[in-house]
Amino acid sequence: MTIAACPISIADYLSTSYRPDCEYIDGEILERKMGKWEHSRVQALLAAWLIQHEQLWDIETATGWRTQVSISRVRIPDVVVVRSGSQPDVLVDPPLLVVEILSPDDSYSDTQQRAQDYIRMGVQTIWIIDPESRTARICTGVHWTQTTRLEVAGTPIYVNTETLFAPLGNR
């Protein structure tokens, strides 16, 4: 859903706070689909797993971090992983990993568009996690692979979906 009735500049967007935060797509401020319990829980569990390994893997993990994917677009991934070091307020360099956790209201086309924005930015690995079906996919370039072990090639970063989904219990 569009928040602003008329287009605003990216500078105005970046200097404004929204609650909850909104994405910026080609001059429009778009409301993000908010996750429900399983979405929020998987996001917290994954972030906790990654944070637990930050020193070992020399990474830093963030949730809900504004990520400028192009000059006219800012996305807000569910989870982002970057190399350790000083970080900007708005991420402009491709992170090691972007994770999108599907909400019940997410559509396939919306998810594809988001992934394409990250790929154009230069992100090499995107994880798409579906709490409802308890499945996950890795996107590297144009290839999508369903897997039970999510990894970032060339790094020690990984999570097994069985471990990730275990605290959600059985249905």
Give the architecture-level CATH label for domain 35-168. Answer: Alpha-Beta Complex (3.90)
Q: Quote the DSSP letter at residue 59.
A: E
pLDDT, position 143 = 81
Domain ranges (residues) in the chain: 35-168
Which among 122, 114, 158 is positioned nearest to 141, based on CA atoms? 122
Rounded distance between C-alpha atoms, residue 69 and residue 93, angstroms: 8
Query: Which range has the worst mean pLDDT, 5-9, 45-49, 68-72, 132-136?
Result: 5-9
pLDDT-derived band at 12, boundaries 50, 70, 90: very high
DSSP 159: E
The strand pairing partners of 67, in sequence order, are 75, 91
More confident residue, 20 or 131: 131
Among residues 157, 160, 159, 164, the alpha carbon closest in space to that of 83 is found at 157
pLDDT score, position 165: 96
- Could you give the CA distance from residue 46 to residue 44 in angstroms, rounded to a whole number? 6
